[in-house]
Every structure is written in C-alpha cells, then in structure tokens.
Structure 1
Amino acid sequence: MTDGGTPSSNGSVSGLDGPQRFSRVLRVGGLKPSLMEALEAGGALVLPDDDRDDMLGRHADEIVAVVTSGRVGVKADLMDRLPALRAIVHFGVGYDGTDADEARRRGIGVSNTPDVLTDAVADTALGLLIDILRGFSAADRYVRAGEWTTKPMPPLARQVSGSRVGILGLGRIGGAIAHRLEAFDCTIGYHNRNVVESSPYQYYSSPRELAAAVEVLVVAAAGGPETQQLVDRETLDALGPDGFLINVARGSVVDEDALVEALQSGRLAGAGLDVFAHEPEVPDALRALDTVVLLPHVGSATVQTRAAMEALTLENLNSFLADGTFVTPVFQPDQKETR
C-alpha cells in the first residue's frame, strides 16, 4: 500500500488518519452533500456514473469499503470488480439496492442506519394517512385554484380517529406508526413475517387477510426480493373501494400497475405514497389523480434525521476501518454463508 495504512486479515485498514483515512473507500452514487464532502476530504474515491473501467482499472484492487445508499447499492457485478472489498456501508435503513445474499456469500459485511430515522418515517406515514383520509392536499388545490367561489365544496372526507388500520411490517418503523395511531383510538392489526409476541395488536396471516379487515393499509415492510409486490392485485381488491393505501417502505413492495388500475377504476378510495417502483419516475396516471398524495421519497428528510444518519454512516465506516466491525451491522464482515 502507498497510503501508509496497514491492512488487517479481515480487510480493514488501521493506522490511517487525517486527509487519507478514506483512501481505500469508494463512494457509489449520490449521498447527503456534507457526507460526500466528508468522504472526499478523507480521500475517498468516487465511482463515475459512466466509463467506470479506467477508474476501476487503476484502483479496484485497493478498495476495501463502499459507501452507498440503499436505493443504489452494490450489485454482484461490481463486487466482481472489487476483489479486496469487505464492507458495504449504507446511508439509510434500506439496503435493497445491494445484493445482500451475494455479499454474505463472499464474506462482505453490510451495515445500515436503523433507529435514527424511525420517528421521521413514522411521522410521514401518519401525515400521509391524515392527509389522504381528510383530503387536505386536494382541498388545498381547490382553494389555490380559486374554486371556492366558483365550484361546489369538495366531497366529505373520512375521519381518522377510530379507523381500522393495518400495518404491513411491524418492525421498528411499523411499531412506531402503530404507537402514534393509538392516540387516535384506531383499531390496529398487522401482518409480519413472524408473529410479534410482545405486540398487543391483532395478527393476520397474510397481507390479503389484513387488507380485508381494515380501512387503511400502511406499508412499512423492508424492500428486497422477498417482499417484491407483496401488496398485489388481490390484496388491493381486499382493501376495497372504501380503502386507502399508505406506502412509506419501498415502491417495489406494491404492484404499482395494479395500484394505478385500482385507483383509476374506483376499486380503491385513495393512496398516500412516499415511494414508487421506478423512482424518480412517477406514472402520469398517479399524478393525474386527485385521490392520491405524492411525496418525493422524503420520509426521513428532516435536518435532525439526516444528520443522525450521516453520523451513523461515518461511525460504521470508521469502525470497520479500525477493527473490521460495524456499529449497526446487517451482518458483520467475513460472516460467510455456508452452503
């Protein structure tokens, strides 16, 4: 190595500090500007969007860690190009853009930033739920367009208090959403991969069964192959023409084509969406509907939350470079899958 650091047996780097401490780190995709500045100040490399061969040809053998977002991630083909890679550090709780199974198979550790964004995302879910049931965004457009003096009042909305709400994915964020809904005297049910023994809420054995029992279905499940289109056409039909869908998880968890059809045909009353299947592209059909509230994936976009996410991302990276472990691992480096 030319940067003075000492590689350990697990691929971490000790003995680096100052402007070269991130010299064996690669940033993949855009991140919070101040985080990108911190990485650049530490000497991190940046993977170009185009024409990557030259950069990888010169530096691929040096790189032990990648910092990326959950949406962009690291696929198996990039892992192939980085033979010394031992850590993928995510800015965000999601890591569905990374081939995590392949990373584990290769002994490459994966970290994320759980907990620090729970409250912000739960607040977003509640805000979307209140907005879409009460029709506040549509009413705002009505006033701004000057229609109060020229057209009939908007139709009556739905009451939030006392409504029946289903949580799809009762993890940290799902639990925080449910806790907030208790203050509205909502009846809460949930579906999860496993029964949460400590939960006071009613468990349903499938998304479809849950949807049939509630007025509002809130999607808070993790993204990835296991939850791809978990909310399918049958689940939306079970939610029904008086039902509402809220999604603060990942766009991939919902069959977006089926959602558009259900909304257009009136088989679903409305939706509040912070995420989409092909971000940043949003179907024109969704943008044309007055029964939908659309947000540009801002569930965790508060000053406090993003600062905490940045700090935890750097903690994970610095911890790996110091001793080969993460502070908040999805799984630690060199925990290889055995087959």
Structure 2
Amino acid sequence: MFRKLVAIEPVSLIPSAEKALHTFAKEVVMYDDIPEGDDEVARRIGDADAVLVSYTSRINKEALEHCPNVKYIGMCCSLYNPESANVDIRYANSRGITVTGIRDYGDEGVVEYVTSELVRCLHGFGQEPWDGMAREITGLKVGVVGLGKSGGMIADAMKFFRAEVAYFSRSEKNEAKAKGYRFLPLGELLAQSEAVFCCLNRNTVLIHEAEFKQFGNKKILFNTGLSPAWDEPAFLKWLEGDNLCFCDTVGALGGEYLVGHRNVRCMNVSTGRTRQAFDRLSEKVLANMTEYVKNNG
C-alpha cells in the first residue's frame, strides 16, 4: 500500500475507479487542472510515493529530481516505448521507480471516426463528393502506415468494406499476410494508395519531402497519432494541392493555425475518448497498480 498517491492532472478514471484508488493509498490527492512546467509538477508530487499522470502533462527528470520519495508512476495513457512516453522512463528506472502504462483502450472510437469521415468524404455527405459523384469504399486503394493495434483494426475495417489494403511497418506480419494485406515499402505504398492512414507512436516522423512527392496529388491522408507523422514544410506544400488531411486533434495536425485550412478536416476532439474507453482505461490502470502492490508489498 502506498503512503500518498497524487494524480497531478485529470486522469479520466470513472467514478468507481477513483473511489478504488483509496484502497491503494492512505492519502489520495486528485488535481483537476493541468500543471504548467516542471516546477509545478514537482510541487504537486511533493512527498508522494505514487503518481498518476495522463497524456497532457510531462514528468521530466527535472521534476523527479525534486521528488525523492516516488516509487511508482502510473501512466493513465498509452505507453509504447520510452521515446514516445511523456514520462522520462529511463531516468525514473535509474532511480528504481517503476513506470507502468496502458495500451489499446481507445482504438474502437478511432476506427469509427476514420470510417465515418471517409464515408462522408467519398459519398459527399455535407460536402462535395470526393470524386464529384457518390462512391463506396469498395475497391478503394488504402494504405496503413504502422500496423499496430489501431492500424490493424483500421485495416480490418477497410477490408470489411472491400477496400484493397496495403501496409508499411518495420517488418512484414504473418497475420496481415494471411488476411491478404500487402506489405510494401513506404514510398510504393504512398504512390499507389488513394487514402492513407498514419497510425504511429508519438513523435514518430516518417513522411518527408521525398515521400510527399511519391504520395502525389488528389489523395486523402488521415493521421490518428498524437503528433504529426510528417515534416511540416513538406506537409504544407502538399496541402496546397488537391488533397485532404483528416485529424481528430490539433496535436495530430501540428498546430491551431492549420485548423481553418481549406484542405484540413480537424474535429478538435480526441475520438478515442469514449465512455467505453474510460471503462477500459480505468480497468487497466487499476490492474497495473494491483500488480505493483502485489509484487512490492
């Protein structure tokens, strides 16, 4: 059991899960706003031995250096690798601090979002049809960049609607091959796909000027990550063509100034943050804490 548990920002747990936090610590402190900077993060953590954080704040080395009692950090958001995490995991581990995160809790909402927007675009619901005439997903050549959990689910959704699916990832996947998805080099995938879905970890940039040239004109680009999957200058040049870019959040797009661009469709809302996603998130956060307490007394 922890002595003091602090959530340094809103962590999107359902009420029953927030109540359950009190079974893990003698004292629980929950902040309802986002801290500004390392000094405020350190102040909020204070003498706590356990910390919860969502995706909107960072816990850097500079903050942790002022918090000697921390033993556990629970990320109430996706953790894929140390490079994309909003916690300095390597420094934390060097201090003996355990950092846990979760995965695969908001993917269903993201798949529904991209499918909905693609259908609206092709059919012309509330807008001009992409081709000038209503069109189905059937036969559409789509490419998925990053075939992790959400990328795989998007590929499966596109296959259900009878699109031709290709993908690029670090290596070919046997499961994808069995489903008939073609593994292609990134440039080739961009060149042959009419609609591309980027499903990459935070701060992973794969599309540069050369790739945008291969992608070409009259294309549809979705980014479902938490940050842009492209170099900004090259993206801005591509955006001036007869193209469309869909992002659910400003973070995925790259900046507020792009929201009003004629070829940008930004929902300005995290489409993975649904009622069901909060249920899954809460279950996984509590499971991580349960496992830690079980193993550490």
Q: TM-score range by the shorter chain?
A: 0.7 to 0.9
> What are the equivalent positions in structure 2 for 1:1-339 lying under 5 Å apart?
14=1, 23-32=3-12, 34=14, 38=19, 43-45=27-29, 49=35, 56=42, 60=46, 62-94=47-79, 96-138=85-127, 155-156=132-133, 159-200=136-177, 201-205=181-185, 207-224=186-203, 227=204, 229-263=205-239, 265-266=240-241, 268-277=242-251, 281-283=255-257, 285-289=258-262, 291-324=263-296
Conservation of the 8 A alpha-carbon contact between 1:132 and 1:293: no
Deviations 1:66-100 (A, max 9, x none): 21113423222122222232332122225632233
Q: What is the letter of the counterpart of residue 292 of structure 2?
A: F
**Cα separation, 2, equivalents of 1:103 and 1:131:** 45
The Cα RMSD (Å) is 3.3
Number of residue equivalences: 283
Gaps (5+ residues) in structure 1?
1-13, 15-21, 141-153, 326-339
Conservation of the 8 A alpha-carbon contact between 1:132 and 1:272: no
Deviation, structure 1 residue 162: 0.9
Deviations 1:87-141 (A, max 9, x none): 321222256322334334444333222233232222222223323344435359x
Q: What is the letter of the counterpart of residue 197 of structure 1?
A: N
**Cα separation, 2, equivalents of 1:131 and 1:64:** 49
Which protein is bigger by CA-based radius of gyration?
Answer: 1
Deviation, structure 1 residue 181: 0.8
Secondary structure of 2:53 counterpart = strand
Conservation of the 8 A alpha-carbon contact between 2:71 and 2:97: yes
Q: What is the letter of the counterpart of residue 75 of structure 2?
A: H
TM-score by length of 2: 0.80
Deviation, structure 1 residue 246: 0.6
Q: Which has the higher contact order (CA 8 A, sep 6+)?
A: 1
**Cα separation, 1, equivalents of 2:44 and 2:136:** 61
**Cα separation, 1, equivalents of 2:45 and 2:210:** 49
TM-score by length of 1: 0.71
How many percent of aligned residue pairs carry the same amino acid?
Answer: 20
Deviation, structure 1 residue 183: 1.3
Taking a change above 3 Å as real, the CA distance of residues 235 and 87 of structure 1, as seen in their structure-2 partners, is farther
